[in-house]
Amino acid sequence: MKFLREPLVHFLLIGAALFGLFAWRGSAVAPVARNDQIIITLGLIDNLRTSFERSDGHVPDAKELEQAVEIYVHEEILNREARSLGFDRDDTIVRRRLAQRMDFIATDEMKIVSPTDDELRAFFQKNPNLFKNADGTMPDFAAAKEGVQRAWLAEQQQKAADTAYEILRAHYTVIRQDQSAQIK
């Protein structure tokens, strides 16, 4: 009976008990999708409802929500089939879209504070070619302030995306087969 004091035996018994509990309760505890299952969770339905409301300007009724779920299922099935056929590999459009999503996530996580008027004026003076009128003259700052804010924000988002990329890039080594040297 000395073996009952071993931590490994305790671990195995707890694992067996949890396995038995999950088997007894079935998928009600934690649904796990197989390749042939598409699980529509309450969270997914909330996301579909929110997306519908943002795009259509009103809360979907039951029929509209059901249509949104059907569209999701349709896309999910086609997506899974396309991936199983390897359509997601070596596709420039898919790669660019995924890269755009990563840039969006990276810049969304960065906290960009609103600039002061002095910062905007400095940006305006540093980048005069961005703000010239069609006839080549410079507008006054007050007239161009909204455009200056947009351009400043775009620059800050690009800097955030570049910083996030550099952090990710540090994890990779690129080896070119047409050259013997590694690119770091």
Quick check: 164 and 104 in contact, CB under 8 A?
no
Kindly report the average pLDDT of the chain as a whole number: 82
Domain total of the chain? 3
Selected residue with higher pLDDT from 69 and 105: 69
Given a cut of 50, whether residue 97 has pLDDT beyond it is: yes
Encoded amino acid at 53, one letter: E
What pLDDT is recorded for position 29? Answer: 47
Range of the domain at 26: 1-30
In a domain, 118, yes or no: yes
Look up the pTM and report it: 0.49
β-bridge partners, 175: 182
Provide the 3-class DSSP secondary structure of residue 183: strand
In a domain, 161, yes or no: yes
Distance (Å, rounded) from C-alpha 57 to C-alpha 113?
A: 29
Highest mean pLDDT among 16-25, 52-61, 161-170: 52-61
Mean pLDDT of 87-112: 81
Angle between helices 117-126 and 141-169 (to 10 degrees): 80
Encoded amino acid at 168, one letter: L
In a domain, 21, yes or no: yes
How many Cβ atoms from other residues are within 10 Å of residue 152's Cβ?
20
